[in-house]
Structures are given as C-alpha cells and as structure tokens.
Amino acid sequence: MPIALVLEEKNKLALRDIALPDDVGPGDVRIAVDTVGVCGSDVHYYTHGKIGPFVVNAPMVLGHEAAGIVTELGEGVSHLAVGDRVCMEPGIPNMASKASKLGVYNVDPDVRFWATPPVHGCLTPSVVHPAAFTYKLPENVSFAEGAMVEPFAIGMQAATRARIKPGDVALVTGAGPIGIMVALAALAGGCSKVYISDLVDEKLGVAANYGNIHPINVTKDDAAEVVRAGTSGWGADVVFECAGAAKSVQTALEAVAPAGCVVWVGMPVDPVPVDIVLAQSKEIRMETVFRYANMYDRAIELLASGKVDLKPLISATFAFSNSVKAFERAVAALPTDVKIQINMQDA
C-alpha cells in the first residue's frame, strides 16, 4: 500500500500506508506526484473536520493542488506521453451531466473533487487521474508553478466572469492567496490598475511587490474612499470580493462604480446582509465564482508567457516526510506566508 498524508480525524494527521484506487483504466494516466500545495480548504478540514456539508467521517488523504510526471498511460490516451511533466485539475465531473454538456462542469452536483469528503486527495507518491483533466507543462514552467495553477485558475475564473475591458480599474478585497491571484489575473485580463485591501500589512506588502497593485490597509483607510479618490470620484469598474467578510461585502458595493461589476469570490462562513438598494441604485452587475471551468489551459499559457509570475507567492517548501510540519506552519498563518508547498521527492 502507498504511504500518504492522512487526515484521520479533526486535528489528527498521520503519514501512513493506506489503500487507494490504483487501476489505470481507459483514458487514465498514472502520475508520480512531485509537488503539492497546501490549500486553505485542506487546513480547514484539518482544524474543523468539515466545510459546510462536507464532513470528514473517515480517514481521508489531503491535497488537491498538484504537479508531477506521467509514468503510465491508459488505453486511448494520445495527447500525453510517459515522461511528460503535468499538472492535474482536481475536480472530475460526470461528463454525461447537463452541467458538463453546458460547459459549466464546475457546478456539476456529481463532481468528484480531490480531498473533498469522501474523495481522497493527492498527497501520496502516485495517483491515477483522467487524462482529459491532466495538462502538459511547458518546459519553462516548474513543478512548483504547476501546482499553483489550481488556485490561479480561480483567479482566472473571476477575471473572466468580470468581463474586464482594457483599462478597467479594479479593487480586490482580501490579500490572501486567492485575492493576490485574482489581482494578477485581473491585470493580465486588461486592468490598468488594481487596488487590494486587507488588515495585514505583510500580506499587502507581498501584493505590492507586483506592478500596478496598490495596497490599502483597511485599519487605516477606507477602501471605497481610496478607490474613489483615485478614480475622480467614479469608483472601481470591477470589485472582486475575496475576503468573505460582512464588512468587505459592504465595501464592495460602496466602492464599485455605477454600472460596474462585483464578483463574489470569497465564501462567508455565515450568511451576510447585502445592501440590495445600493446595488440597484448603481445598477451594478453581480457575478459569482465557484472553482473554475475550462481555465487550466489559459492559466498555463499565461504562466509560460511570463505575463504572470507566481513564484514569489511560494513562501516555504517542506519535504513529504515533514508534511505534518507543513500543515502546522499553514495553521500558524504567518502574516508573510502566502502558499506553502510540499515536495514529494523523499516519498
């Protein structure tokens, strides 16, 4: 049996052997995993044992942000070869579902997503995955960057939903990993300037290292006022709400320009009030984001082009043998940390 990082139950992790699906069927590939990112959802399952209706009722392998090398091809796979460097899209929909046929497979109720109970994740030396959701990495994109494609795809989904026009000014509320990646996707999508707001100077500092991303510490300044001041009183053409907090939801509505767009990316733990009258008075457009669909190819091409550099967001890399320590570091949530990764070379 393979070794894996197993969430036994809330607050209990173990590196141990576990039986996992291993057959390479038609249309599948086997991948030797090289790098896995630690996502906030992984940490939440570890510390809380559940996310909404998804409850860890049995031991589960964590991890869903991954890249590796193809080691075996299933029958009928022609676009990949043994030895290809790849990253893997972790959500596998029912290809016969209405959502899949409409091209919105991210909202397919039957989707099976790595490290979402009861589906095992990829923090194990080898995984079997559908070739259709496995993507070859260009030579100039590293495994570490390949493992960042998954969260960056959320940023790509948000920027696409916003329907950005060249020269738009945007505000991103929340400077966590997703917020920063949304800001980078917005710039790549045509925004001339992106403001980003948060409570923590260190996180804002990471974002500010990129050109045309302007930090706002909301403990010192009102984000909506700063944006209006920088746009001759008009407001942001697009606001991406990535914090999932009630106050930032209100800020999004206050900061957006008339006839602008608010994209809801962050997921509040509890329901929050929304000022519908304010939204109506500006006749704004609202869009929502849940994961992504058909974004991996585009995200990889942007990384390969050099227009987006995610390497500065990798704060620390742990060996697989130190996976538990990697999660302890992630739980600590150091203000300078953006993305923690695990390298599987010693697996």
Note the pLDDT tens digit of each residue in 12-46: 999 999 999 899 999 999 999 999 999 999 999 99
Rounded CA-CA distance 139/160 in Å is: 26
What residues contact 210, with CB distance under 8 A and at least 6 apart? 183, 184, 187, 312
- pLDDT score of 177: 95
Rounded CA-CA distance 196/216 in Å is: 6
**Would you say residue 346 has pLDDT above 90?**
no
Rounded to the nearest 5 degrees, what angle is found at the Cα of 342, between the Cα atoms of 137 and 130?
Answer: 45
Q: Rounded to 5 degrees, what are φ and ψ at 194?
A: -130, 120
Would you identify the CATH topology of the domain 157-288? Rossmann fold (3.40.50)
Give residue 133's pLDDT band: very low, low, confident or very high (50, 70, 90).
very high
- pLDDT score of 204: 97
- pLDDT score of 347: 76
Q: Order of strands, edge to edge, in the sheet holding 236-241? A: 213-217, 193-198, 169-173, 236-241, 256-264, 285-288
Note the pLDDT tens digit of each residue in 44-97: 999 999 998 899 999 999 999 999 999 999 999 999 999 999 999 999 999 999
What residues contact 229, with CB distance under 8 A and at least 6 apart? none
Nearest CA to 292 out of 183, 184, 154 is that of: 154
- pLDDT score of 52: 85
Domain ranges, ordered by start, for the chain: 3-148+310-343, 157-288
Q: Is the peptide bond before 138 cis (omega within 30 degrees of 0)?
A: no
Distance of CA 149 to the CA centre of its chain: 8
Q: Are the C-beta atoms of residues 209 and 232 closer than 8 Å to each other?
A: no
- pLDDT score of 1: 82
Q: Which two tokens stand for residue 161?
A: 């939903």
Mean pLDDT in residue range 179-193: 98
Note the pLDDT tens digit of each residue in 216-263: 999 999 999 999 999 999 999 999 999 999 999 999 999 999 999 999
Q: Report the 10 Å Cβ neighbour count for 66.
A: 31
**DSSP class of 313:** G
Give residue 293's pLDDT band: very low, low, confident or very high (50, 70, 90).
very high
**DSSP class of 322:** G
Rounded CA-CA distance 207/176 in Å is: 9
Residue holding tokens 């796979």?
77
Give residue 164's pLDDT band: very low, low, confident or very high (50, 70, 90).
very high
What kind of architecture, by CATH, is found in domain 3-148+310-343? Answer: Alpha-Beta Complex (3.90)
Please, how many CA atoms are within 13 Å of residue 70, restricted to the half-sphere of its CB?
26
- pLDDT score of 288: 97
Mean pLDDT in residue range 143-170: 98
Q: Are the C-beta atoms of residues 60 and 197 closer than 8 Å to each other?
A: no
Q: Is-same-fold flag (3-148+310-343; 157-288)?
A: no
Q: Rounded to 5 degrees, what are φ and ψ at 204?
A: -65, -35
